[in-house]
Amino acid sequence: MIGMFLLITFSIGSYKKLNSSHYQSILLYDFNNGTDFFKLEDSKLDDNFPTLTATSLPLKYLKARYYLKIDSIETAKKLLYKSIDDNPYIAAPQALLANLYLTENEIDSALFYSKEAFYSLSNNNRHRDVYFRALKEINDSISLDSAFVKIKDYNNENHWYDYILTRNDINQKPSKYLLNLLDEIPARFPQTDTLKKNSIKRFIELGSGRYTSALANSELGRNEFEKNNFSEAVRFYEIAISLDDKQHVYFENAAISYDNLENYSKAEEYFNKVIYDFKTIDGKSEFYKGLMFIKNNNITSGCDYLARSTRKNYVGAASGLRAENVYNQLCKN
């Protein structure tokens, strides 16, 4: 009888593990890929045995995410509290709770759980993000600086960018210290996106209001350009330039608009600024300047600039036009 009891117990346990492994594969797939194949209403998942996935994530934590999607907030919270007991070390439930409390403006609770998540597993983008957002809510630059010291030597440039932007928000004014940190990034992370780094640097130098206003006017210019309202496009691009004269794309887009307005002297001035002052490497301004010259029967200079664009391997993002093909068509016949 004892042997039969043990066999039945073992069989039940094995069945539960087998059943759980089926659901776990779906839960983990959804978690890793942002999908929703798991359906709460169809599930017979027992999250009490086993309590953890093969990756040590609590099953209750994974289930909680689906309750959040159907706005069952309190049910989700209960599952998250229990999942902390199931594995207090992985800290994913704490990070999700902190996010919830931030959306509810429960800052004390958000700070408590985000700090626990961050200091449990610091080299984690989600944990850092929610902790920094909580610190920004209370303008706690001291704790933020301490947190950055803890993570700055990891091979993760996102830690640097997030710290710099959060600290800048708390400062509410340009900081030489933050600009110097930005200048350190390329040496520490050689593969960093230089455009991103420079954009953040300009954001700090100008302040968020002026930087955002310049960007908004540039976007208005783009909208007008797409409607062939080139005069209006130029007006908005010039406003953007007056607010931020360190963004080559504002000058480049204005130059193309001036070209369409047949204001060739202004177009050439701005193309030259992009090519010779900003020293861009994509070949776009050379391409459009070359076409402008050819359109005005200056074939020699036009082909020279198309050749330069070809050497930079320019390909139009929207049109798909290759400088090399245009050069061959217009300059080699």
254 with 312, same domain: the answer is: no
Q: Is residue 58 part of a domain?
A: no
Q: Is residue 97 part of a domain?
A: yes
328 with 312, same domain: the answer is: yes
R_g of the chain computed on alpha carbons: 28
275 with 294, same domain: the answer is: no
Phi, psi of 52 (to 5 degrees): -120, 150
182 with 262, same domain: the answer is: no
Largest CA distance in the chain: 102
93 with 201, same domain: the answer is: yes
Structure confidence at residue 195 (pLDDT): 83
Last residue within a domain, chosen from 160, 178, 206: 206
255 with 170, same domain: the answer is: no
174 with 212, same domain: the answer is: no
134 with 237, same domain: the answer is: no
Structure confidence at residue 168 (pLDDT): 95
Tokens of 206: 């100008």
CA distances from 120 to 62, 114, 290, 313 (A): 19, 10, 57, 47
Taking only the tens place, the pLDDT of each residue in 99-119 is 999 999 999 999 999 999 999
| 266: CATH | 1.25.40.10
181 with 226, same domain: the answer is: no
Amino acid symbol at 103: T
Amino acid symbol at 224: E
Q: Is residue 28 part of a domain?
A: no
> In which domain, by residue range, is 198 found?
89-206
95 with 195, same domain: the answer is: yes
Last residue within a domain, chosen from 206, 226, 251: 206
Taking only the tens place, the pLDDT of each residue in 152-195 is 999 999 999 999 999 999 998 888 999 999 999 999 999 999 88
How many domains would you assign to the chain? 3
Structure confidence at residue 19 (pLDDT): 44
Taking only the tens place, the pLDDT of each residue in 304-319 is 999 999 999 999 887 8
Last residue within a domain, chosen from 206, 235, 266: 206
Instruction: For residue 13, give every residue at least 6 positions away whose Cβ sits within 8 Å of its Cβ, in sequence order, or none.
Output: 49
Read out DSSP for 242-306? HH-TT-HHHHHHHHHHHHHTT-HHHHHHHHHIIIIII--SS-HHHHHHHHHHHHTT-HHHHHHHH
pTM exceeding the 0.85 threshold for the entire prediction: no
Picking from 47-56, 65-74, 249-258, 324-333, which range would have the lowest pLDDT averaged per residue?
A: 47-56
Taking only the tens place, the pLDDT of each residue in 254-263 is 999 999 999 9
Q: Is residue 74 part of a domain?
A: no
Q: What proportions of the chain, in percent to the nearest 5, are helix, strand and coil?
A: 75, 0, 25
Q: Is residue 48 part of a domain?
A: no
**Closest to 185 in 3D by CA, of 206, 166, 162:** 162
